[in-house]
Each structure stands twice: as structure tokens, then as C-alpha cells.
Amino acid sequence: MTVESSSLVEEISALLEAPTARERGPYLDLLEHTLTAGYAHALALEAERWRLERRFGEVALGLAYGEEGAAGTDELVSLARRMADAAGDLSLLRGLLVTLRDHASAVRAAA
């Protein structure tokens, strides 16, 4: 997990675990800001995953045509790990964002 992902996950988790603030306006603003940051980070993770997948395909094609050699195999392993990490980060983040969105809706409804 990247430092940015880790910080965002910690921030979302803290918001979900904290008691609902008495002053709903600033608390809702914080929830909305965190949701926005979370969705932006999810989009960045998606873009990174797509970039890695495209590169993976390029390297694999190079290996198939004998253009890459051992360095290509090593790069495929590295790319596969990075793709798995990005997919795991994205899955965790999406789940937390759904929970946070539901929490924000409940806070709005209680106001």
C-alpha cells in the first residue's frame, strides 16, 4: 500500500470510528472532503493499474517475439506485483468509500 493510500485509509477509518460530531456542518464538510479525496485517489489508482496492464502486455508481447530476454521476465514479475498491489489498494479503498458515503448519508438524514 502506498503512503498516500495508507494515510487516506487511516483518515477514513478514523472518521468511521469517531463519534458523530455535534456540529454537523463542519463534520459533513470533512466527510465530503474526504470522500472527494478518496474518489480522486481511486481514479489515480485505476489509471496506474491501467498503465501497468498496458506495459505488462507490451513486455509480454516482446517476450513472445524474443525481444525482451531475462530483463523482460523480471519486469513482468515486477509489473504483476504492482498490479496486484494496486488492485488490492483499490478494492480496499472502494469498500471504505462506500461505507463512508453511507455514513455521510446517515449523518445528513439525522440533521
Give 47-86 pLDDT, tens digit per residue: 999 999 999 999 999 998 888 778 889 999 999 999 999 9
Place of cell 472527494: 36
Q: Which residues contact 51 (CB under 8 A, 6 or more apart)?
A: none
Contact status, residue 16 vs residue 98, Cβ threshold 8 Å: no
pTM recorded for the entire structure = 0.86
Task: State how far the Cα of 69 lies from the Cα of 71, in Å rounded to an integer.
Answer: 6
- pLDDT tens figures, 16-51: 988 776 778 888 999 999 999 999 999 999 999 999
Task: State how far the Cα of 64 lies from the Cα of 90, in Å rounded to an integer.
Answer: 30
In angstroms, what CA-CA distances link 93 with 15, 31, 45, 51, 108?
Answer: 14, 15, 10, 19, 22
